[in-house]
Structures are given as C-alpha cells and as structure tokens.
C-alpha cells in the first residue's frame, strides 16, 4: 500500500538532508521507524552499528591511522634527504633532483589517496550518515588546502583527528583541536608567527603573521560582521605567537651543519642530533614536539606582553593566552549566530529563516556551544519541516556524486572515477585553495557546463560504464603530484585542449559495471518524480531509464 504523499516527502527530506540521499532499503527503514525517530538515531551515531566489512576496509587504510609526525617521517623526510643528497652530488642540477625524488613522491601519493577513499567510503556506505555530513561540513568550515606543502600528507590526519571525533560535541573542543593541528598551523602560516623582538625571531621566524588570527575570527568563529577590528586581529596574532611546529635546525633556525660548515644529511645528521632517530620527533624540525600530533608551543617566539582582545585584558602568560582567546571566541554571541546561520544555510535553505537562526544561536549559548543541541533545535523546528524547503537545496558536486552512487547501491572498489568527476565539476576533495571552503548554495554550482558534466556522469553511471567494480590501476610514474588519481582506460579524462570529457560509451566490451536497475532505483528514491519526469522515464528505452533518473531535475536537488 502506497504511503501518503506527505509522509513520503518527509522521509525523502530527512534522507536528503541528514544523509547523502537514500541507499536501497533506507526509504523502507525510515518509513518503518518514522522520520522523527530517524533524526534521533542520527543525532546519536554511537547507537548505530557500523558493518564489520566497512570497518575492516577503513582499518586497511594504514596512513589514515598515522599521526602527523609518523606521516612526516615516513613520507616527507625521505624526500627532503634525497633532495639534499642529489643537490650535493649533482651540483644543484634540477633534473637530477627531480629524478632522485620521483619514486618517493609517487609513494607519497598514497596518503592523499587513502584520505579521499576513506571519506567517500564512509559517506557512501556508512550508516552514521549525519556524522558523515557533519564531518564534511566542519572540514569545509575549517578548510585546509592539501596542495600546500606539508598539508599534502597532513590533511587526512586533520580530518581524522581534529574534525571527525568532535562533530557533535562542544564547539570549543572542535575549535581547539583544529587550532592545535599542524595542518592548520601550516596552511595559515601561524607556524611562522613570531614576536618581532623575541629570542626566536630569526630566519623564517622574523615577525607577526596575521593570517590565522584573521581567519580564526572571520571564518571559524565570529564571522565577517562579528564586531572585531583590525586591532583585535593584531592582538590575536600576538597572542598566538609561538603556536605551531618545532622550528628547524635544533633551535637555531639556521639548519644543521658540520664542523666545517657543510650541510649534513642522513645518518651523519642523526648521529649528532639523537632526536633524528626518535619516532616521536620530526626529522626536519629540530626541536622535539610537545605531543604526538606535532603541535609545538615555542616560548622563545612568544610575545609575553599584556594584550587587549575584544575588550578583554589578556595577561602575558604563554600558551594559556591562546587558550583564553579561544574560550572568548567560542562563547561569543557573534560566534553562536555565525555558526547557526551556516548550519541553517546548509540544512534548511540558501537564505535561512532569521527566526530559526536566532533560536539556534540562543540554544548554542544556553548549552555552551553543544553542536548536537543546536542541530536538534533545527531538526525539530517548523522551518526545517516546512514543505517549501523540501528539495530546495541544489546539490554540490560532492553531494551529487555521492548521492548518485548511494542510490544505485553499486559495490565500489575503484573510487577514482568519482574523485575525477568531482575534480571536473570544480569540487575536488581537500583541494579548495581558499580558507572559506566551498560554497553550498545554488548560485555557486548551477551553470550550463556543470549540468552537461553531471548529465554525462549520470549516463556513464546509469549505463554501467564507470569501472567502479574493477580494481583500480596503479598511478603511473608520469602522473601529476598532489595526490592526483588516475585510472585506465579513462571514463573521466581531459583532452589535449585542456577541456574535460567523460567517456560514457561502453565500447566493444560492454558495460564496466553492473548497470543499476531503473525500477529498483526509482523505488530507492521513493518514486518522487514530477509527472513530466515520470513520463519521460516511462517512454524511454530500458537502458536509458536509470540515466534519466540520475540526471532528472528532482535528483539535482536535496
């Protein structure tokens, strides 16, 4: 017996907002338990069992469970040492240096590949869908760019340890975890932020760097209209001097040199400086890290003077000054409003109702920044359940690709065509260069070129032409750096003119995966199509029905 339309709409609404769209069986599960019960389940993910096979596959991604120090020692330090040796042996010849580090850079790509696969694997198959949505939301809020230097190997660890464990808890805890992580310190340059007249002010550490202080207020907490001034930016930058990474050269800032002044490398370096042999230290950075994450407070570069920040007097006291500043920011009404607006914009509407944002901000302040409480206020509001907001959010490229694969239920061994499509659509994972992250509103993603690419992807997936079930090919030695993912033969490729093509022609060997069944696909999505879409699907040949469903106007929205 068919469900009444209103209940069908409510079921699809929660699956599109609290999850990345339905998978086969999800619609029936929410129908049996009720949308409201589903909301409570997702707000308490610890009550939802994770399939053992998914847990095993995530655990097999070894780099995902390495801390930043271990990642540096395993994947970056050998490149640094090989580069130094090649420069010394080849007189600085660039080609020789490139050849000497080529294989090591290919090896290094595994770090980003495993981070990308873990994110997509959990988003597509994980039953704790709201946790996956919130992990993506908070990473985007605290964005770091994996293409910047050491963040190539640290971004996955940043999401795994600074973001994922804190998606529903106190915002202050999440804020502190991101503030202490080397990926953030490196991305926004605070690792170089130094009091100008301090003992440690030398070399790269020669003065105040305001980058992190500014983004910490403008993007992470108060918002652009949060009531702070340039004087507050400068004060916060001084408060955060010395926060970052152990400095090079064993504390001298000039690097390690032998008795005759020559640069030492490899075992000679380790022999003179025992910390080079210890796993709990950075090889390249001279001082031992204060904790396994690699965060280090260097008091020799800190400004110990008294500061005035947002009207508060901050006594000179070292690292606790920064902790005090984070407390002030996390408890600010401006932060409550800024975060509430962003959450409501993501989950409710591009232009969220002001009354809802205000109630969420009040709940934030009343609970000392408890994210779960703010989400519950939103998910139980009349505004969230207003039918005018159903299907009103245009999917970002990430949401579109993930929701397509979830809907088909196809087993995936090869994630590269999915990553490649996101890249073509302008939203590659971990590759937003600017600290404000990717937009989640329709005007950022709806354009003719993007729609053509989406339709090509829908055709490739719906006709069984993406090699998702095949083992991925290893990257070849000529592949680009930065964790680029490639697969052969290309279902997603760039032509010689630099334009993007998606090859959805099955070719002489037929489909590359099991094509989704259009009847099952429609049932998974709750048969929610408009009369025009339903008629078009019904009138089409069977092999085109799944592509039409995945490329329909209704499926482009959530």
Reported as a single tens digit per residue, the pLDDT across 220-264 is: 999 999 999 999 999 999 999 999 997 554 433 333 333 233 333
With a CB cutoff of 8 Å and minimum separation 6, the contacts of 94 are none
At 259 the pLDDT is 29
Q: Which residue has better confidence, 247 or 527?
A: 527
Tokens representing 465 are 């032409």
Q: Where does the pLDDT of residue 102 fall: very low under 50, low under 70, confident under 90, or very high at 90 and above?
A: very high
Q: Is the model's pLDDT at 502 over the cut of 70?
A: no
pLDDT band at 507 (very low <50, low <70, confident <90, very high): low
Mean pLDDT across 399-408: 98
Dist CA 133 CA 524 (whole Å): 20
pLDDT: which is higher, 205 or 1: 205
pLDDT confidence band for 90 (50 / 70 / 90): confident
**Residue closest to 343 by CA, chosen among 166, 162, 128, 138:** 138
Distance CA 198, CA 430 (A): 35
| pLDDT attached to residue 157 | 97
Is the peptide bond preceding residue 146 cis, with omega within 30 degrees of 0? no
* Whole-structure pTM value: 0.89
Q: What is the mean pLDDT of residues 323-341?
A: 98
How many beta carbons lie within 10 A of that of residue 508, not counting itself? 5
Percentage of residues in the chain having pLDDT higher than 90 = 77
Residue 394 has pLDDT above 90, yes or no: yes
User: Does residue 300 carry a pLDDT above 70?
Assistant: yes
Please tell me the predicted confidence (pLDDT) of residue 246. Answer: 76
Instruction: Quick: pLDDT tens for 20-38.
Output: 999 999 999 999 999 999 9
Residue 193 in contact with residue 237, Cβ under 8 Å?
Answer: yes
6 pLDDT band (50/70/90 cuts)? confident
Res 411 pLDDT > 80? yes
How deeply is 230 buried, as exposed, middle or buried, from its count of CB atoms within 10 A (0-12, 13-18, 19+)?
Answer: exposed
C-alpha to C-alpha distance for 531 and 291, rounded to whole angstroms: 60
Q: For residues 79 and 85, give the distance between their C-alpha atoms in angstroms, rounded to a whole number.
A: 10
- pLDDT at site 490: 41
pLDDT of residue 206: 86
Residue 503's pLDDT band (cuts 50, 70, 90): low
Q: Does position 555 have pLDDT exceeding 70, yes or no?
A: yes
Taking each continuous run of H as one helix and of E as one strand, the counts in the chain are 25, 6
**Residues contacting 52, CB < 8 A, separation 6+:** none
51: DSSP letter:
P
- Give 417's contacts (C-beta < 8 A, 6+ positions apart): 460, 466, 467, 468, 487, 491, 492
Report the pLDDT value the prediction gives residue 513, as an integer from 0 to 100: 86
Q: What average pLDDT is seen over the chain?
A: 87
pLDDT of residue 339: 98
Determine if the peptide bond prior to 285 is cis (ω within 30°).
no
Task: Give backbone dihedrals phi and psi of 465, rounded to 5 degrees, phi first.
Answer: -105, 0
**So what's the pLDDT on residue 511?**
60
The rounded distance, in Å, linking the Cα atoms of 298 and 147 is 26
The pLDDT score that the predictor gives to residue 293 is 77
Q: Which tens digits make up the pLDDT trace of 166-223? A: 999 999 999 999 999 999 999 999 999 999 999 999 988 989 999 999 999 999 999 9
> What is the secondary structure of 271-339 as a DSSP string?
HH-GGGG-TTS-SSBSSPPSSTT--EE-GGG---S-EEETTEEE---THHHHHHHHHHHHT-HHHHHHH
Q: Comparing 8-12, 161-165, 423-427, 512-516, which segment has the lowest mean pLDDT? A: 512-516
Q: Which pLDDT band, with edges at 50, 70 and 90, does 388 fall under?
A: very high
Is pLDDT at 48 greater than 50 in this prediction? yes
Mean pLDDT of 80-99: 85
pLDDT at 501 over 60: no
pLDDT band at 505 (very low <50, low <70, confident <90, very high): low
Which residues are within 8 A (CB) of 484 and not within 5 positions of it... i.e. 6 or more apart?
109, 475
**Percent residues over pLDDT 70 in the chain:** 84
For residue 502, give the DSSP letter: E
**pLDDT at 509 (0 to 100):** 55
């Amino acid at each position: 017996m068919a469900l009444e339309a209103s209940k069908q709409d409510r079921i699809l609404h929660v699956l599109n907002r609290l999850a990345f769209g339905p998978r086969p069986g999800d619609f029936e599960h929410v129908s049996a338990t009720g949308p409201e019960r589903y909301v409570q389940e997702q707000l308490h993910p610890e009550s939802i069992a994770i399939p053992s096979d998914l847990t095993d596959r995530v655990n097999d991604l070894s780099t995902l469970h390495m801390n930043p120090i271990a990642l540096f020692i395993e994947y970056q330090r050998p490149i640094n040492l090989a580069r130094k040796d090649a420069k010394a042996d080849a007189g600085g010849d660039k080609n020789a240096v490139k050849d000497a580090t080529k294989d090591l850079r290919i090896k290094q790509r595994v770090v980003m590949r495993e981070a990308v696969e873990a994110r997509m694997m959990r988003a597509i198959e994980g039953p704790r869908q709201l946790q996956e949505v919130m992990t993506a939301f908070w990473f985007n809020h605290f964005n770091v760019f994996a293409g910047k230097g050491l963040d190539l190997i640290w971004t996955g660890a940043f999401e795994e340890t600074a973001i994922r464990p804190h998606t529903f808890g106190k915002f202050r805890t999440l804020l502190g975890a991101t503030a202490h992580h080397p990926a953030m310190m490196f991305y926004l340059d605070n690792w170089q932020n130094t009091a100008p007249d301090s003992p440690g002010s030398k070399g790269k550490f020669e003065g105040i760097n305001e980058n992190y202080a500014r983004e910490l207020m403008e993007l992470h907490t108060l918002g652009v209209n949060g009531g702070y001034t340039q004087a507050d930016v400068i004060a916060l930058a001084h408060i955060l001097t010395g926060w970052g990474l152990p400095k090079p050269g064993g504390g001298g800032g000039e690097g390690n040199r032998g008795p005759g002044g020559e640069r030492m490398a490899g075992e000679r370096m380790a022999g003179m400086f025992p910390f080079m042999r210890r796993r709990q230290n950075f090889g390249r950075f001279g001082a031992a890290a204060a904790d396994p994450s690699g965060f280090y407070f260097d008091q020799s570069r800190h400004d110990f003077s008294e500061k005035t920040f947002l009207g508060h007097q901050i006594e000179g006291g070292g690292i606790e000054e920064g902790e005090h500043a984070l407390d002030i920011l996390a408890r600010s009404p401006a932060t409550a409003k800024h975060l509430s607006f962003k959450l409501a914009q993501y989950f409710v509407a591009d232009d969220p109702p002001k009354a809802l944002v205000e109630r969420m901000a009040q709940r934030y302040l009343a609970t000392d920044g408890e994210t779960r409480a703010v989400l519950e206020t939103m998910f139980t509001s009349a505004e969230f359940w207003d039918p005018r907001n159903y299907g009103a959010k245009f999917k970002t490229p990430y949401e579109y690709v993930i929701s397509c694969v979830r809907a088909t239920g196809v087993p995936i061994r090869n994630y590269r065509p999915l990553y490649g499509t996101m890249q073509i659509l302008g939203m590659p994972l971990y590759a937003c260069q600017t600290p404000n992250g990717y937009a989640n509103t329709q005007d950022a993603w709806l354009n003719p070129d993007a729609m053509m690419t989406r339709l090509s992807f829908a055709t490739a997936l719906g006709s069984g032409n993406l090699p998702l079930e095949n083992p991925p090919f290893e990257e070849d030695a000529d592949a680009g750096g930065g964790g680029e993912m490639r697969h052969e033969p290309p279902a997603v490729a760039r032509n010689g003119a630099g334009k993007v093509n998606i090859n959805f022609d099955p070719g002489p060997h037929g489909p590359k995966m099991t094509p989704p069944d259009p009847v099952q696909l429609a049932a998974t999505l709750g048969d929610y199509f408009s009369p025009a879409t339903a008629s078009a699907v019904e009138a089409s040949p069977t092999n085109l029905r799944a592509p039409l469903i995945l490329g329909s106007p209704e499926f482009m929205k959530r």
